[in-house]
Each structure stands twice: as C-alpha cells, then as structure tokens.
Amino acid sequence: MEKLEFTFAAGQPAPGRTVTGVVASGDLEVLLEPGRDGTTTVAVQTSVDGYGGNWTALLERVFGPGTLPAARIEINDNGATPGVVRMRIEQAFEEVKP
Amino acid sequence: MTDIDQLLKRDSFIERNARSRARALLDPGTMRELAGPFERLHSPWLAMQHLVTQSDDGVVAAKGLLDGRPTVVLAIEGGFQGGSMGEIGGAKIAGSLELAARDNRRGIPTQAVILFETGGVRLQEANLGLAAIAEIQAAIVDLRRYTPVIGVSAGTVGCYGGMSIAAGLCSYLVLTREARLGLNGPLVIEQEAGVGEFDARNRSLIWGLTGGEQRVASGLADACVQDDSAEVRATVARLFGQGVPARHRSERAQEYLAALERADTAAQPTADAVRALYGATDNHRGDA
C-alpha cells in the first residue's frame, strides 16, 4: 500500500460534496469536498506500489489546466486502471454540479 | 416481451452498489445517511495491515421512509473486502438496529432492512468482527419483537458465516436466484472435508443446494425475487405489511434439528431430498 499527495491550481470552491465508486477489485472510491479557493488537493491511498509516475501523469492531465472547481479529494484505490480513475473523478465533479 | 427485452429494461438490484441499493428501497428524497463516508470511520485494523480502507468501512446505514413509514436500511457493500464484517461496519449495523428498537420503545415504529452481501467475519479483525456480529444478532432479536426485521440477499456475494446466522434470525428473508445462503461457503467445505464431500467447482451443486430458489423451496427463506429493484422493494414492503410473524423461523430450531436427524448423511444430498426433508417439518410459508 502506498500513499501519495498532490496539489493543483483550481477555480472557485466546488459547490458540494459527494462520494463515487467502491474500493472493490479494479475500482476506487473518490471523496470530493469543497476545497480552499484556488487550490485542489488530492490524497491517494493505493493498493499497488510503485505507480507514482502514472498517478502524477494522470492527475496532471485532469487537474493541470486548473479549470475545475477547487476540491479536497481523497482517493482510495484498489488497483483501478487509469481510465477508471479518470471516470470516477469526472463522475464526482458531475455529481456536485449545481 | 422476450427475455432479452426484459433483461435490458429492468433496473438491476445486483448491479447497484450498497449506497444505491439503500436509495432504491427508500422513498425518493427521504434517504439520510448515518455515520456516512465523510465521517471517515475507516477501519484502523486494515490500515495497520497495509490494506486500503473504505471511508464507510463497507456499510451504508441509511434512514428514510418506505411507503411513508420510518425505515432504516443497512446495506453491506459486497465489493469491499468481500462484504466482511469488521469492528466499525459491524458497530454501524448493530448501533442502528439498537436505535431502531429504542425508537419503537418510545412509540416511533421504525422498521429495519438488512442487505446481506457478506462472507461473514473480516478475518483481519478477528474477535472484534465476531463480537460485532454477536451484537448484530442480539439487536435483531431485540428489534423483531416490535417490528419485522427483513433480510435481503441479492448476490453475487451471497450471505455466509456468522452473518448467515444473523440472516436466519430475521423475521423474513428475501433472496434472488443469484443469491446463496449458507453457514460455510463451498470452498471452505471442500478445504475442510475434502472434494468428495463438496466439489466447490460444481456450480449447479452449489446453487442447487444453497441458491436462493432452493432456500425458498426448503422454507429457509420467504421470497425468491427477480434481480429487479422495483420487485425487491415491493416484496420488502409487502412483507412489512404482514407484521411480526407469530413464530420466527429461529424459534422453530428444534423442528429443523429433528429434520436434520432424519437426514441420510451416507450419500451426497440432492436438492429434491433437502426440500422433502425440510418440507416434512411443514414450515412452508408459501408466500413466494
């Protein structure tokens, strides 16, 4: 098990909180809460060690542009593929849309 | 309508996760989660063993209304650690049932549904998990004096171990054909007693003896439903409408033991033989 933390620039705080996904085999749980204005933090807990580079690349793609609402995100991952991770994150932002 | 059309149109209960199952049972807009994921009640024991935790420890405790009546739904997430019962998840179920019993004593008729999707105790939490299951069982027996406690197991995990005893204590039990109910799982039986006793690769044997259809036909469960959210909900509502049974299934333990005494253990039992054996105790409720 490995823990990773990331910080990205972001927009206005997210308008709500939600949880998507389950810590099932090949899946992950994403908890999304409003973040501090202009900053998104992502705390990852993953069952697979040694994939820090992949996490950095994937999260850079999602949050790098800095256009998403500011959020405090917690990810509990049980071996999800990058595509599944991205969909769960996008699902969470979709669900908190006003 | 063809089977395929029906398959595509229905709203699968099995495919829903625990939170979504709870929401499907309650009246729209009434669900409120107790000790939810943002309380971050992770299992401290899994983390110590370097296992990824889930923010609700695999149990969703939801309060709301079912056909306008106060109801608590306790949904076990089968996808997380096989739906295993640990200290936190177990305490959420037991605590919710205890609060429902207190509600009843104070004149608020709160009823309870437990969605069993569990292999039983979480081995990583050992005695704490077992203690939690004992508390759940005691709480079911307390609450069912006032109002029916309904168990549902939809699959695909099924319901095993100490939690199968908890299911047996419920006033009514609802299963799908995909669900399985048993004290020991097939692999455990094969490992402990040998492949001659039970072949865990033989799926028709497993479902033939422990599947939902067989359990209902043997009188060990009350309704076998399609994997359809509306049908599960309607069946649960109908069973609540029947009120507390005059005698709970667990109060007929002596009859079941007497039936088991008559079983011929020299040969592998068939599904029909088991139905005949339990049928002889005359305990069919016949409301499936």
Asked if residue B76 lies in contact with residue B89, where contact means CB atoms within 8 angstroms, the answer is yes
Query: B171-229, pLDDT tens digit by residue?
Result: 999 999 999 999 999 999 999 999 988 999 999 999 999 999 999 999 999 999 999 99
Residue B284 pLDDT: 47
Using the beta-carbon criterion (under 8 Å), do B55 and A31 form an inter-chain contact? yes
Query: Which residues of B fall within a CB distance of 8 Å from A47?
Result: 51-52
CA B123 to chain centre: 19
Please tell me which of the candidates A1, A19, A27 has its beta carbon nearest to residue B55: A19
Print burial letters for A56-80: b (CB count within 10 Å at least 16), e (below 16).
Answer: eebbeebbeeeebbbbbbbbbbbbb
Query: B48-63, pLDDT tens digit by residue?
Result: 999 999 999 999 999 9
User: pTM here?
Assistant: 0.94
Residues 6+ apart with CB under 8 A from B41: B35, B55, B56, B57, B88, B92
Phi, psi of B118 (to 5 degrees): -155, 140
Task: Dump the DSSP string for A4-62.
Answer: EEEEEE-SSBPS--EEE--S-TT-EEEEEEE-STTEEEEEEEESSTT-HHHHHHHHHHH
pLDDT tier, B8 (very low <50, low <70, confident <90, very high otherwise): confident
Using the beta-carbon criterion (under 8 Å), do B18 and A22 form an inter-chain contact? yes
- Annotation: CATH topology of B3-279: 2-enoyl-CoA Hydratase; Chain A, domain 1 (3.90.226)
Q: What is the ipTM of this complex?
A: 0.93
Query: B73-115, pLDDT tens digit by residue?
Result: 999 999 999 999 999 999 999 999 999 999 999 999 999 999 9
Cα nearest neighbour of A1 on chain B:
B50
Surface of A (9-68) touching B: CB under 8 A: 17, 19, 22-25, 27, 29, 31, 33, 45-47
Say whether B50 sits in a helix, a strand or coil: coil
Residue ranges per domain, chain B?
Answer: 3-279
Surface of B (79-98) touching A: CB under 8 A: 79-81
